[in-house]
Amino acid sequence: MKSPGKIVVWPVNLDSAKSRIEGRKVAKGLAIQAPRLEEINEAAIRLSLEAELVPGKSRPSSWWEKAGYVIVTKNETKTNVFRALAGEIGKIRAAKVEREERSH
């Protein structure tokens, strides 16, 4: 059911390993390698977007993959939300790598 002001973000929408036909919604250069639901949720929270995690669900076009999705409030265009989420996940991963390097 559609909800005004909200969008569904599937991990495939941000996955660099997927093609546009397979569901990627951002440019290959912005896409993230194998994004996880938790990362998408954390990125949405960091961007001050309300997020609701729905694990274990599958996209109709890939019914065999139970990846789940995140429902996010939309404060601008859908494309801009996807781009912002991909960029924020990249920052989260870079910070994690930096922390791990400092601890060694």
Report if residue 1 sits inside a domain.
no
Supply the CATH number for residue 56's domain. 3.30.56.30
Query: Whole-prediction pTM value?
Result: 0.87
Range of the domain at 71: 6-103
CA distances from 9 to 12, 61, 102 (A): 8, 14, 33
Q: pLDDT by residue (tens digit) across 34-46? A: 999 999 999 999 9
Q: pLDDT by residue (tens digit) across 4-30? A: 889 999 999 999 999 999 999 999 999
1-7 long-range contacts, Cβ below 8 Å, gap at least 24? 3/71, 5/73, 5/74, 6/71, 6/72, 6/73, 6/74, 7/71, 7/72, 7/74, 7/78, 7/81
Report if residue 37 sits inside a domain.
yes
**Does the pLDDT at position 1 exceed 70?**
no
Q: Which helix (H) or strand (E) holds 9?
A: strand 6-9
Number of neighbouring beta carbons within 10 Å of residue 82: 21
